[in-house]
Every structure is written in structure tokens, then in C-alpha cells.
Amino acid sequence: MSNFFQTKIEFLRGVGLQKAQLLGKELGIFTYGDLIQRYPFRYLDRTQFYNIVDLHDDLPFVQVKGILRGKEVIGEGPKKRLVAKVGDASGELELVWFKGINFLEKIVKNHQEYIVFGKPTVFNGRPQMAHPELEEVTEQKAGQSFLQPVYNTSEKLKNYHRVDSKFIMKMVSDLLKIALPQVTETLSPALIQQYGLMSKATALQQIHFPQTPDLLQAARFRLKFEELFYVQLKLLRQKDQRKVELAGQIFSEVPTLVHFYKNVMPFDLTGAQKRVIHEIYKDFL
């Protein structure tokens, strides 16, 4: 990668010096290169919209689409919460927030269609989500589906500095917009064609924001192939260096090995054993 990827992370939009120092200390992210190579450890499936009637406790994080039918603040003190109801053609889903109530009460609109994303539970026989994510349905987002990346962070960053997985996702998204044109191909065209690999730039885009599970799998294969390819090249180079620097004793012949194999062993070797003996014999010469 070019010198662009040595740029300090503090210069990325929305980061700044203070967050950059914390990212370096907590996550080892110091440069653009560190961030773009910090891959998600899992993905949330946002490729499917569920009907509210089909929600149950055993489902993971899911998304539904519905109209906000009402909201109210209930309780006092620690029990204070914002409760809203979203409905689709199949039923009604209760949404509950215990934090950020004042802010949410201002921005959540009645009769607005939302995409609701969260972990469904069943309370008193009714489906419910606690602290779901809400997005207003627009023409652009109406049919939008994707795999949402999830990034490792630390408790200190999440709890005290609001650097959670979604913040890192936004950082990566902002970085990819300016970084992908800077990515240079690291494998030869012959290798890419032989193994059907996607380009390095495409692999980085798809490993962070995969459009489909198949593209995610292809991106993983490309990046794993590249890593193992260069590990293998390094090992071969070290082997060649050892042959030059530590040549050792060269034998013109190895009579003991030949005598033992032909005259002493009371049974014949298998094909695999013969190949190993042959390799040992070549190493002596």
C-alpha cells in the first residue's frame, strides 16, 4: 500500500487528536492502514425484513418496517422510559428506551414509517424491542438490505467516549471513500486469473460492507489467499537464504542410507515412505 495509508488516524474526518490517542492505546489503530485492515468479526443480517407477527425470542437481531402509531413517556426516575408502538399489516411491536429519552422524544415522529432494527423479545405475550435503532424510510432506503459489519472495541471506548462498533463502522465508511483509489494491486494478473480472485480494492470494500454473502466469502478468500501466499514466499526465501549462508556438509554419496534401505530392512516401504527417503537422500547431496 502507498504512503497514504501511513497517514495518522487523527486526520480522518470526525476523529481528531483525542479520539486518535484513545484508538491507538485501546485498539492499536494509529494510521489509515491500521483502520482499513481492522476487519469486522461478525455481521448482522439486514438482508431480510420480518413481519411483526413472526417475531419471537429465539430470533437474533432482525429488522421490520412499520408506521409509528404512538409514543409516550412512562414512569419516574430510574423507571422512566419512552414507549412507542410500530405497526405493519401483521401486527404491532412495542419499542422501549430507557436512555436518551428527551432526545428521542423530539426526533421520533408519529405516523412516520421507520425501519426498526434490534433484538426481539416477548413480554406479556406481545413482541417488544429494547433500545432498537430507527431509520426513517425514504425512497432510497425503502428496499435497502445489507450485511452490517460489527467491530471489536473496548468498554472504555464504548462507555466513556462513545466509540462503539457503529462509530468505527462510520470511520471505515469515510475512509473507504478516499482510500480505495489509493489501493494498489499486490498479486499478479496471472494469479488473479488462475484462482478467480477479486481485486484488492474490491476485497477491502466487500470485507467491510458486503453486498451479498457470496461477495463476502469471495473477499475473505482473496485476503486469506494473499496473506498465506506471502507467508509461503517468505518461508521459501528463508529456505534459500539458509542454503546459501548455512550450506553444511555436502556428501557425494550416502552409502549407509542406501545399504540400510536395500539390505537391512525386512520389508518393503510404502510409496509415501519411499518418497520421504528420496527427499532425505536429496538433502544429503
pLDDT digits (tens, 9 = 90+) for 147-198: 889 999 998 888 777 888 989 999 999 999 999 999 999 999 999 999 999 9
| CA atoms within 13 Å, Cβ hemisphere of 51 | 5
More confident residue, 257 or 36: 36
pTM of the model: 0.69
Q: Phi and psi for 264 in degrees, rounded to 5?
A: -100, -45
Q: What share of the chain is helix, strand, coil (3-state, %, to 5)?
A: 45, 20, 30
Letter string b/e over residues 74-104, b meaning 16 or more CB atoms within 10 A of that residue's CB = eeeeeeeebebbbebeebebbbbbeeeeeeb
What is the C-alpha separation between 230 and 233, in angstroms, rounded? 5
Q: In this structure, what DSSP letter does residue 13 have?
A: T
Amino acid identity at 274: K
- Segment of 158-167, 211-220, 254-263, 272-281 carrying the highest mean pLDDT: 211-220
Q: How many residues make up the chain in this entry?
A: 285
Least reliable range by pLDDT among 99-108, 139-148, 230-239:
139-148
* Residue 247 scores a pLDDT above 80: no
Q: Would you say residue 259 has pLDDT above 90? A: no
- pLDDT tens per residue across span 86-128: 999 999 999 999 988 888 888 899 999 999 999 999 988 899 9
Give the residue from 61, 82, 64, 62 showing the smallest Cα distance to 73.
82
